[in-house]
Structure 1
Amino acid sequence: MFFEPDDPDIRERMHAAFAGATIRLDCAPSHGATETWGHSGRTIGAPVTTSSENAWLRVLEAPVGKEGGKLWTGTQEAAATLPREIPRPRLLASADWVNEGYAYRAELSTYVTAPVCSPTPDLTQHIALPDAWWSRLQRATSTVAATPVPDNRPRVISQDYVHRTIPRYLGEAGVDTTVHHWTLAHGDLHWANLTSPELTILDWEGFGPAPHGFDAAHLYAYTLPVPELAARIRDTFADVLATREGRLAELTVAAILLQAADRDPIHARLAPQVRAHAQWLLKHHRDS
């Protein structure tokens, strides 16, 4: 989703860390593999091979003393918390080390062969997905929401953030922005984190408690450019989206994406549809 960092020092440091991770976790880079980068070059990932299988290796970096936190610990905590029936990569091994003022974490996971549904978080054209795919996605998100929250796992967003962001980006609409029901969520459910035709849900590092219905609301917002599939999401997740809790989750997601529109072109192109949907939600709230 992100480009290779412009800073040559970051590229050199992360490539060296990735090479070191292959030694620590006894794997080798796959020939001709394409690497992927996280925001500002803070992570790098690529396919590798082990003695028994193909795998995916991801390396995170942070200045010493600033490692830790939700995204740093998320993959390991998700592996320890979530039921095995949720379709996701399995964490095989990990390693931590420090070098020249930077802390590193390497995570080796099972390799997912199915392609992602979209190269970007939003869906820009129709894709054909079987009924079984939709059923499995609905079961997976319901299972996540029903899973007890791990002790001390940070929230995807804070209550204070909801209170501040909805009025700032949607206006003072007379909506009670207090979240009364927090449940476990993936936290970043969009089309670049879903594969097809075999469903796998990728990138669990940001999981945590969120307003109930957050994952369904998040995916719906990123599907607005394709009305037919957006309607399918509303039908599939009607049990949460058609509730007051689900409506607050949708307003929260709308505010998040409108805030992101100030920073990147993907969310900027999505913003008009998100804003229009938010206004529909607010009108529905006033009329109900």
Structure 2
Amino acid sequence: MFSEPDDPDTRERMRSAFNNATIRLGGASADGAAETWGHSGRTIGGPITTSCGNVWLRVLEAPVGKEGGKLWTGTQEAATALPAEVPRPRLLDSADWAHEGYAYRAELSTYVTAPVCSPTPDLTEHIALPDAWWSRLRRATSTVATTSAPDGRPLVITQDYIHRTIPRYFGDAGIETTVHHWTLAHGDLHWANLTRPELTILDWEGFGPAPHGFDAADLHAYTLPVPELAACVRDAFADILATPEGRLAELAVAAILLQAADRDPVHARLAPHVRQNARRLLEH
């Protein structure tokens, strides 16, 4: 989803860690496999082969002493907390080690053959999705929202963050920013984390309690450049988005994405659409 890091030391270190993880987890390199990078080279992923066939290997890195936390433990906690009917990769194995001042976590998951809906989080062109795909997405997000969060699982965003950022980006418009209903959410539901034509929801590292409707609001925001598909999201989640809770979730997501627009080009190009949708929300 992100470009490889500019820093050659980071590239070399992460590729070395990926090869190390492949050996630790009993795999072998897959010929011609393309690597994928996380933000700023924090993660590297790609397919490898094992005695079970092709699997997906993902390696996270953090300075020693700073490993742990929400993103570090998210995949493993989601694997045990979420019901089997939620369509997602299955965690197969993991390994942890440290080397030359950096800590690593390697996670081996089932390989998903269906392509992602978009190479970037936002949609830039129309895609055709059958009614069954939308129904399965709605069932999956509803199942997640009614699942109890693991004890101690951090919030996707905090109440304090919402109190601070909504007024920062939208002014003092009399918006009630107190969240009264928190439910479990994927926390990063965008088009690069969804596959088609068979739905699989990828990358659960950031899941946790969030304002009710957060996932619907997140996906809707990333769909705004394609109005026809944005309308499909609103239809699929109408009972959530057309409520005061859904409105607050949309404004919270809008603030998050506008803040991100200062850091990367994907959110910078999404920002005008997000501002326009926020104005629509504030008029009602």
Range into which the TM-score falls when normalised by the shorter chain: over 0.9
Q: Cα offset for 1:100?
A: 1.3
- State the distance in 1 between where 2:159 and 2:88 align: 28
1:79-135 deviation per Cα after TM superposition (whole angstroms, max 9, x unaligned): 010001000000000000111111110000000000000011111111110110000
| Counterpart residue number, 1:231 | 231
What is the Cα-based RMSD across aligned positions, in Å? 0.7
1:170-249 alignment runs, 5 A limit: 170-249=170-249
- Partners in 2 of 1:160 and 1:20 — Cα distance? 40
Shift in Å at residue 142 of structure 1?
A: 0.2
The structural deviation recorded for 1:45 is 0.4
Deviation at 1:192, TM superposition (A): 0.5
Distance 1:277 1:64 in 2: 42
Counterpart in 2 of 1:86? 86
Q: What corresponds to 1:43 in structure 2?
A: 43
Deviation at 1:281, TM superposition (A): 0.5
| Cα distance in 1 between the residues matched to 2:3 and 2:155 | 28
In 2, Cα distance between the equivalents of 1:261 and 1:13?
28
Give the fraction of aligned pairs with identical amino acids, expressed as a percent: 81
Q: What is the SS of the residue equivalent to 2:58? A: strand
User: Residue 110 of structure 1 corresponds to which residue in structure 2?
Assistant: 110
Tell me which stretches of 4 or more aligned residues in structure 1 moved more than 4 Å: none
State the 1:11 CA deviation: 1.4
> Is residue 29–residue 46 contact of structure 1 (8 Å, CA) maintained in 2?
no
Q: TM-score, normalised to structure 1's length?
A: 0.97
What does residue 165 of structure 1 align with?
165
* Counterpart code for 2:164: R
Unpaired runs of at least 5, structure 1: none
Separation (CA, whole Å) in 1 of partners of 2:63 and 2:263: 24
Q: Matched residue of 2:160: which SS?
A: helix
For this pair of structures, how many residues does the alignment match? 284
Amino acid at match of 2:67: E
Cα separation, 1, equivalents of 2:141 and 2:202: 13
Distance 1:266 1:17 in 2: 28
SS of 1:200's equivalent in the other structure is coil
Q: Is the 8 A contact 1:28 1:50 kept in 2?
A: yes
Counterpart of 1:91, as a letter, is L
Shift of the alpha carbon at 1:225? 1.0
The 5 Å alignment of 1:46-65 reads: 46-65=46-65
The amino acid that maps onto 1:185 is A
User: Structure 2, unaligned stretches of length 5 or more?
Assistant: none
